[in-house]
A = this chain, B = another copy of it.
Amino acid sequence: MRPTVHDIAAAAGVSLATVDRVLNQRPGVRKVTREKVENAIREIGYIRDVAAANLAKGRTYSFVFILPASDNSFMHGLNDEVRAAVARSSVERTNIRTIEVPAFDPGALVQILNELGDERPSGIALVATDAPEVRDAVDRLVQDGIPVVTLVSDLTGSQRHHYAGVDNIAAGRTAARLLGRFLGGATGEIAVLAGSMLVRDHRERLEGFAAVMAAEFPSLSILPVIEGRDDPEMAHMLVADALSKKSGIIGVYSLGAGNRGLIRALKEKAVDRSLTVIAHELTTHTRAALLDGTIDAILNQDAGHEVRSAIRVLKAKADGLAVIEAQERIRLDIFLKDNLP
Protein backbone atom coordinates (compact mmCIF):
# COMPACT_ATOMS: atom_id res chain seq x y z
CA MET A 1 0.00 0.00 0.00
CA ARG A 2 1.10 3.47 -0.82
CA PRO A 3 2.04 5.56 2.24
CA THR A 4 -0.24 8.46 3.15
CA VAL A 5 0.10 11.63 5.18
CA HIS A 6 -0.94 9.64 8.23
CA ASP A 7 2.05 7.37 7.79
CA ILE A 8 4.35 10.35 7.65
CA ALA A 9 2.86 11.69 10.85
CA ALA A 10 3.34 8.36 12.60
CA ALA A 11 6.86 7.90 11.27
CA ALA A 12 7.97 11.40 12.22
CA GLY A 13 6.15 11.35 15.54
CA VAL A 14 4.26 14.55 14.84
CA SER A 15 0.66 15.42 14.18
CA LEU A 16 -1.12 15.46 10.88
CA ALA A 17 -1.38 19.22 11.03
CA THR A 18 2.37 19.57 11.20
CA VAL A 19 2.89 17.23 8.29
CA ASP A 20 0.43 19.31 6.34
CA ARG A 21 2.31 22.48 7.22
CA VAL A 22 5.54 21.00 5.94
CA LEU A 23 4.03 19.49 2.81
CA ASN A 24 2.34 22.71 1.78
CA GLN A 25 5.05 25.02 2.98
CA ARG A 26 2.91 26.80 5.47
CA PRO A 27 4.66 28.79 8.22
CA GLY A 28 4.86 27.89 11.88
CA VAL A 29 7.18 24.90 11.90
CA ARG A 30 10.56 24.86 13.60
CA LYS A 31 13.51 23.91 11.46
CA VAL A 32 14.23 20.73 13.45
CA THR A 33 10.65 19.57 13.17
CA ARG A 34 10.53 20.35 9.50
CA GLU A 35 13.63 18.26 8.93
CA LYS A 36 12.25 15.42 10.97
CA VAL A 37 9.18 15.38 8.76
CA GLU A 38 11.17 15.71 5.57
CA ASN A 39 13.32 12.78 6.55
CA ALA A 40 10.29 10.69 7.29
CA ILE A 41 8.84 11.58 3.88
CA ARG A 42 12.02 10.48 2.22
CA GLU A 43 12.39 7.32 4.25
CA ILE A 44 8.94 5.92 3.77
CA GLY A 45 8.93 7.07 0.16
CA TYR A 46 5.81 9.15 0.33
CA ILE A 47 4.41 10.46 -2.93
CA ARG A 48 1.57 12.91 -2.86
CA ASP A 49 -1.59 11.56 -4.45
CA VAL A 50 -2.09 14.26 -7.03
CA ALA A 51 -5.61 13.17 -7.88
CA ALA A 52 -6.75 13.40 -4.28
CA ALA A 53 -4.89 16.66 -3.80
CA ASN A 54 -6.50 18.23 -6.83
CA LEU A 55 -9.87 17.00 -5.69
CA ALA A 56 -9.36 18.59 -2.30
CA LYS A 57 -8.13 21.82 -3.79
CA GLY A 58 -10.91 21.86 -6.32
CA ARG A 59 -8.08 22.74 -8.61
CA THR A 60 -8.39 23.37 -12.29
CA TYR A 61 -5.25 24.08 -14.27
CA SER A 62 -5.51 27.26 -16.30
CA PHE A 63 -3.23 27.15 -19.30
CA VAL A 64 -2.65 29.78 -21.95
CA PHE A 65 -1.50 29.02 -25.49
CA ILE A 66 -0.03 31.92 -27.44
CA LEU A 67 -0.13 31.27 -31.18
CA PRO A 68 0.91 33.44 -34.11
CA ALA A 69 -1.90 34.65 -36.34
CA SER A 70 -0.36 33.14 -39.48
CA ASP A 71 -2.53 32.03 -42.33
CA ASN A 72 -0.89 28.76 -43.28
CA SER A 73 -2.00 25.17 -43.01
CA PHE A 74 0.44 24.26 -40.29
CA MET A 75 -0.67 26.99 -37.94
CA HIS A 76 -4.29 26.21 -38.69
CA GLY A 77 -3.59 22.60 -37.81
CA LEU A 78 -1.89 23.65 -34.59
CA ASN A 79 -4.90 25.77 -33.76
CA ASP A 80 -7.20 22.82 -34.41
CA GLU A 81 -5.20 20.65 -32.07
CA VAL A 82 -5.39 23.23 -29.32
CA ARG A 83 -9.12 23.39 -29.85
CA ALA A 84 -9.32 19.61 -29.63
CA ALA A 85 -7.46 19.83 -26.34
CA VAL A 86 -9.93 22.45 -25.15
CA ALA A 87 -12.75 20.06 -25.98
CA ARG A 88 -11.16 17.45 -23.75
CA SER A 89 -10.26 19.94 -21.09
CA SER A 90 -13.29 19.52 -18.87
CA VAL A 91 -12.45 15.86 -18.33
CA GLU A 92 -8.90 16.73 -17.47
CA ARG A 93 -9.61 19.59 -15.07
CA THR A 94 -7.88 21.99 -17.40
CA ASN A 95 -8.92 25.33 -18.69
CA ILE A 96 -7.15 26.27 -21.87
CA ARG A 97 -7.29 29.68 -23.44
CA THR A 98 -5.59 30.67 -26.68
CA ILE A 99 -4.32 34.10 -27.54
CA GLU A 100 -3.40 35.09 -31.07
CA VAL A 101 -0.53 37.48 -31.64
CA PRO A 102 0.74 38.99 -34.89
CA ALA A 103 3.47 36.73 -36.33
CA PHE A 104 7.10 37.83 -36.10
CA ASP A 105 6.23 40.67 -33.71
CA PRO A 106 8.37 40.48 -30.56
CA GLY A 107 6.78 43.61 -29.08
CA ALA A 108 3.25 42.26 -29.16
CA LEU A 109 4.41 38.97 -27.71
CA VAL A 110 6.25 40.68 -24.86
CA GLN A 111 3.21 42.74 -24.00
CA ILE A 112 0.99 39.68 -23.74
CA LEU A 113 3.58 37.85 -21.67
CA ASN A 114 3.82 40.73 -19.24
CA GLU A 115 0.06 40.87 -18.84
CA LEU A 116 0.03 37.16 -18.12
CA GLY A 117 2.55 37.76 -15.36
CA ASP A 118 -0.18 39.53 -13.39
CA GLU A 119 -2.86 37.03 -14.25
CA ARG A 120 -0.67 34.15 -13.11
CA PRO A 121 -2.07 31.18 -15.07
CA SER A 122 -0.96 27.65 -14.14
CA GLY A 123 1.15 27.47 -17.27
CA ILE A 124 1.96 29.10 -20.60
CA ALA A 125 2.82 27.62 -23.98
CA LEU A 126 4.02 29.88 -26.75
CA VAL A 127 5.32 29.73 -30.29
CA ALA A 128 8.36 31.87 -29.65
CA THR A 129 9.62 34.65 -31.83
CA ASP A 130 13.32 34.39 -31.22
CA ALA A 131 14.26 37.80 -29.81
CA PRO A 132 16.11 38.95 -26.68
CA GLU A 133 13.17 40.92 -25.30
CA VAL A 134 10.94 37.89 -25.62
CA ARG A 135 13.53 35.79 -23.85
CA ASP A 136 13.65 38.31 -21.00
CA ALA A 137 9.88 38.36 -20.65
CA VAL A 138 9.79 34.56 -20.54
CA ASP A 139 12.59 34.44 -18.00
CA ARG A 140 10.67 36.85 -15.76
CA LEU A 141 7.67 34.52 -15.82
CA VAL A 142 9.87 31.55 -15.03
CA GLN A 143 11.43 33.43 -12.11
CA ASP A 144 7.91 34.14 -10.92
CA GLY A 145 7.31 30.42 -10.77
CA ILE A 146 5.02 30.13 -13.78
CA PRO A 147 5.72 27.06 -15.96
CA VAL A 148 6.52 28.02 -19.54
CA VAL A 149 7.09 25.80 -22.55
CA THR A 150 7.99 26.84 -26.06
CA LEU A 151 6.06 25.25 -28.88
CA VAL A 152 7.30 24.49 -32.42
CA SER A 153 10.01 27.16 -32.32
CA ASP A 154 12.39 27.59 -29.41
CA LEU A 155 13.77 30.63 -27.64
CA THR A 156 17.54 30.97 -27.64
CA GLY A 157 19.14 31.04 -24.22
CA SER A 158 15.95 31.29 -22.21
CA GLN A 159 15.03 29.55 -18.99
CA ARG A 160 11.79 28.05 -20.39
CA HIS A 161 11.08 24.74 -18.74
CA HIS A 162 10.70 22.76 -21.91
CA TYR A 163 10.64 22.91 -25.69
CA ALA A 164 7.86 20.95 -27.39
CA GLY A 165 9.08 20.74 -30.95
CA VAL A 166 11.42 18.92 -33.27
CA ASP A 167 15.18 19.26 -33.58
CA ASN A 168 15.28 21.47 -36.64
CA ILE A 169 18.97 21.07 -37.33
CA ALA A 170 18.45 17.34 -37.51
CA ALA A 171 15.46 17.94 -39.76
CA GLY A 172 17.58 19.94 -42.20
CA ARG A 173 20.32 17.33 -42.17
CA THR A 174 17.83 14.57 -42.81
CA ALA A 175 16.34 16.47 -45.72
CA ALA A 176 19.80 16.87 -47.21
CA ARG A 177 20.64 13.20 -46.96
CA LEU A 178 17.32 12.09 -48.40
CA LEU A 179 17.68 14.49 -51.30
CA GLY A 180 21.30 13.50 -51.86
CA ARG A 181 20.56 9.80 -51.79
CA PHE A 182 17.47 10.08 -53.94
CA LEU A 183 19.50 12.00 -56.53
CA GLY A 184 22.06 9.22 -56.49
CA GLY A 185 25.27 11.08 -57.26
CA ALA A 186 23.85 13.36 -59.95
CA THR A 187 25.30 16.83 -60.48
CA GLY A 188 23.12 19.93 -60.35
CA GLU A 189 21.60 22.75 -58.35
CA ILE A 190 19.23 22.66 -55.40
CA ALA A 191 16.66 25.37 -54.80
CA VAL A 192 15.74 26.11 -51.20
CA LEU A 193 12.44 27.74 -50.31
CA ALA A 194 12.08 29.15 -46.81
CA GLY A 195 9.54 31.30 -45.01
CA SER A 196 11.85 33.76 -43.37
CA MET A 197 15.36 33.63 -42.06
CA LEU A 198 14.13 35.61 -39.04
CA VAL A 199 12.59 32.59 -37.34
CA ARG A 200 14.80 30.18 -35.57
CA ASP A 201 13.34 26.93 -36.87
CA HIS A 202 13.87 27.93 -40.50
CA ARG A 203 17.40 29.13 -39.84
CA GLU A 204 18.23 25.87 -38.13
CA ARG A 205 16.79 23.72 -40.88
CA LEU A 206 18.85 25.54 -43.45
CA GLU A 207 21.93 25.26 -41.30
CA GLY A 208 21.59 21.49 -41.00
CA PHE A 209 20.74 21.11 -44.66
CA ALA A 210 23.71 23.12 -45.86
CA ALA A 211 26.10 21.31 -43.54
CA VAL A 212 25.29 17.83 -44.82
CA MET A 213 25.11 18.99 -48.43
CA ALA A 214 28.56 20.52 -48.25
CA ALA A 215 30.11 17.60 -46.44
CA GLU A 216 28.60 14.68 -48.26
CA PHE A 217 27.10 15.70 -51.55
CA PRO A 218 29.62 18.02 -53.16
CA SER A 219 28.17 17.48 -56.63
CA LEU A 220 25.03 19.32 -55.55
CA SER A 221 25.16 23.07 -55.09
CA ILE A 222 22.65 25.09 -53.09
CA LEU A 223 21.22 28.18 -54.78
CA PRO A 224 20.58 31.33 -52.71
CA VAL A 225 17.61 30.84 -50.41
CA ILE A 226 14.21 31.96 -51.69
CA GLU A 227 12.22 33.63 -48.93
CA GLY A 228 8.51 33.16 -49.57
CA ARG A 229 7.28 34.49 -46.20
CA ASP A 230 5.16 31.36 -45.90
CA ASP A 231 2.84 32.96 -48.43
CA PRO A 232 1.48 30.71 -51.23
CA GLU A 233 1.29 33.47 -53.84
CA MET A 234 4.76 34.75 -53.19
CA ALA A 235 6.21 31.26 -53.12
CA HIS A 236 4.54 30.46 -56.42
CA MET A 237 5.96 33.49 -58.12
CA LEU A 238 9.47 33.10 -56.81
CA VAL A 239 9.73 29.38 -57.47
CA ALA A 240 8.26 29.67 -60.96
CA ASP A 241 10.76 32.38 -61.70
CA ALA A 242 13.69 30.34 -60.42
CA LEU A 243 12.67 27.26 -62.37
CA SER A 244 12.41 29.27 -65.56
CA LYS A 245 15.76 30.92 -65.21
CA LYS A 246 17.85 28.12 -63.80
CA SER A 247 17.82 25.01 -65.93
CA GLY A 248 20.36 23.33 -63.69
CA ILE A 249 17.92 22.81 -60.82
CA ILE A 250 17.40 19.12 -60.13
CA GLY A 251 16.12 19.27 -56.56
CA VAL A 252 14.04 21.43 -54.25
CA TYR A 253 13.96 21.67 -50.45
CA SER A 254 11.02 23.57 -49.02
CA LEU A 255 11.69 24.10 -45.36
CA GLY A 256 8.87 26.48 -44.50
CA ALA A 257 5.12 26.56 -44.60
CA GLY A 258 2.83 27.65 -47.42
CA ASN A 259 3.66 24.89 -49.88
CA ARG A 260 0.56 25.41 -51.97
CA GLY A 261 2.34 27.93 -54.17
CA LEU A 262 5.39 25.72 -54.51
CA ILE A 263 3.31 22.79 -55.65
CA ARG A 264 1.48 24.88 -58.22
CA ALA A 265 4.75 26.18 -59.61
CA LEU A 266 6.17 22.67 -59.80
CA LYS A 267 3.18 21.37 -61.71
CA GLU A 268 3.30 24.24 -64.19
CA LYS A 269 6.98 24.46 -64.80
CA ALA A 270 8.38 21.03 -64.23
CA VAL A 271 6.18 18.74 -66.25
CA ASP A 272 9.02 17.89 -68.55
CA ARG A 273 11.77 17.89 -65.93
CA SER A 274 12.34 15.32 -63.24
CA LEU A 275 12.81 17.18 -59.99
CA THR A 276 13.37 15.59 -56.62
CA VAL A 277 11.46 17.52 -53.99
CA ILE A 278 11.44 17.41 -50.20
CA ALA A 279 9.02 19.55 -48.22
CA HIS A 280 8.04 20.17 -44.63
CA GLU A 281 4.67 19.75 -42.96
CA LEU A 282 1.99 17.29 -43.94
CA THR A 283 -1.13 19.12 -45.10
CA THR A 284 -3.89 18.26 -47.56
CA HIS A 285 -1.83 19.92 -50.27
CA THR A 286 1.50 18.30 -49.56
CA ARG A 287 -0.18 14.96 -49.01
CA ALA A 288 -1.80 15.09 -52.44
CA ALA A 289 1.48 16.17 -54.00
CA LEU A 290 3.31 13.28 -52.34
CA LEU A 291 0.77 10.82 -53.63
CA ASP A 292 0.87 12.12 -57.20
CA GLY A 293 4.65 12.17 -57.25
CA THR A 294 5.21 15.93 -57.26
CA ILE A 295 6.89 15.67 -53.88
CA ASP A 296 9.18 12.77 -52.97
CA ALA A 297 9.23 12.99 -49.20
CA ILE A 298 7.61 15.06 -46.48
CA LEU A 299 9.20 15.89 -43.16
CA ASN A 300 6.62 16.54 -40.51
CA GLN A 301 6.11 17.47 -36.92
CA ASP A 302 2.90 16.21 -35.39
CA ALA A 303 1.08 19.26 -34.09
CA GLY A 304 -1.26 17.10 -32.01
CA HIS A 305 1.64 15.49 -30.23
CA GLU A 306 3.24 18.85 -29.62
CA VAL A 307 0.11 20.28 -28.05
CA ARG A 308 -0.58 17.24 -25.89
CA SER A 309 3.05 17.09 -24.84
CA ALA A 310 3.04 20.76 -23.91
CA ILE A 311 -0.04 20.21 -21.75
CA ARG A 312 1.43 17.16 -20.04
CA VAL A 313 4.64 19.00 -19.30
CA LEU A 314 2.87 22.10 -18.02
CA LYS A 315 0.73 19.97 -15.76
CA ALA A 316 3.74 18.08 -14.42
CA LYS A 317 5.63 21.30 -13.79
CA ALA A 318 2.61 22.85 -12.08
CA ASP A 319 2.42 19.84 -9.79
CA GLY A 320 6.18 19.72 -9.31
CA LEU A 321 6.36 16.27 -10.85
CA ALA A 322 8.91 14.70 -13.18
CA VAL A 323 8.21 14.27 -16.89
CA ILE A 324 8.99 11.14 -18.89
CA GLU A 325 11.64 12.59 -21.17
CA ALA A 326 11.39 9.90 -23.85
CA GLN A 327 7.67 10.43 -24.05
CA GLU A 328 8.01 14.15 -24.59
CA ARG A 329 10.61 14.00 -27.35
CA ILE A 330 8.83 15.27 -30.44
CA ARG A 331 9.91 13.13 -33.33
CA LEU A 332 10.61 14.11 -36.89
CA ASP A 333 8.21 12.17 -39.06
CA ILE A 334 9.39 11.15 -42.50
CA PHE A 335 6.57 10.37 -44.86
CA LEU A 336 6.88 8.62 -48.18
CA LYS A 337 3.95 7.62 -50.31
CA ASP A 338 3.68 4.39 -48.36
CA ASN A 339 3.55 5.30 -44.70
CA LEU A 340 1.07 8.14 -44.72
CA PRO A 341 -1.24 8.07 -41.69
Give the B-binding residues of A (Cβ under 8 A): 2, 47, 49-52, 54-55, 88, 90-91, 93, 167, 170-171, 173-174, 176-178, 181-185, 208, 212, 296, 304-305, 308, 321, 324, 326-327, 329, 331-334, 336-339, 341
Number of copies: 2
- The chain B residue with its CB closest to the CB of A211 is B338
| Contacts A90-B47, A305-B327, A308-B327 given; does A212 touch B338 at CB 8 Å | yes
A167→B339 contact, CB < 8 A: yes
A173→B339 contact, CB < 8 A: yes
Min C-beta distance of A97 to chain B, whole Å: 17
Q: How far is the CA of A12 from the CA of B185 in the complex (A)?
A: 74
B331→A304 contact, CB < 8 A: no
**Of B55, B177, B324, B333, which contacts A338 at CB under 8 A?**
B177
| Contacts A90-B47, A331-B331 given; does A177 touch B208 at CB 8 Å | no
In the complex, which residues of chain B have a beta carbon less than 8 angstroms from the beta carbon of A178? 336
B339→A332 contact, CB < 8 A: yes
Min C-beta distance of A124 to chain B, whole Å: 22
**Of B51, B321, B333, which contacts A55 at CB under 8 A?**
B51
Q: DSSP majority for the A interface?
A: helix
Min C-beta distance of A8 to chain B, whole Å: 16
In the complex, which residues of chain B have a beta carbon less than 8 angstroms from the beta carbon of A183? 184
Q: How far is the CA of A305 from the CA of B54 in the complex (A)?
A: 27
Q: How far is the CA of A50 from the CA of B185 in the complex (A)?
A: 58
Q: How far is the CA of A176 from the CA of B332 in the complex (A)?
A: 20
- The chain B residue with its CB closest to the CB of A167 is B339
**Of B51, B88, B184, B308, which contacts A184 at CB under 8 A?**
B184
- The chain B residue with its CB closest to the CB of A308 is B327
The 3 closest A-B pairs by CB, nearest first: A184-B184, A173-B338, A51-B51
In the complex, which residues of chain B have a beta carbon less than 8 angstroms from the beta carbon of A174? 336, 338-339
Q: How far is the CA of A335 from the CA of B181 in the complex (A)?
A: 14
In the complex, which residues of chain B have a beta carbon less than 8 angstroms from the beta carbon of A339? 167, 170-171, 173-174, 332, 334
B337→A177 contact, CB < 8 A: yes
Q: How far is the CA of A253 from the CA of B334 in the complex (A)?
A: 19
Q: How far is the CA of A54 from the CA of B50 in the complex (A)?
A: 12
In the complex, which residues of chain B have a beta carbon less than 8 angstroms from the beta carbon of A176? 338
In the complex, which residues of chain B have a beta carbon less than 8 angstroms from the beta carbon of A336? 174, 177-178
Q: How far is the CA of A171 from the CA of B176 in the complex (A)?
A: 22
In the complex, which residues of chain B have a beta carbon less than 8 angstroms from the beta carbon of A331? 331, 333, 341
Q: How far is the CA of A178 from the CA of B339 in the complex (A)?
A: 11
| Contacts A55-B55, A308-B327 given; does A334 touch B337 at CB 8 Å | no
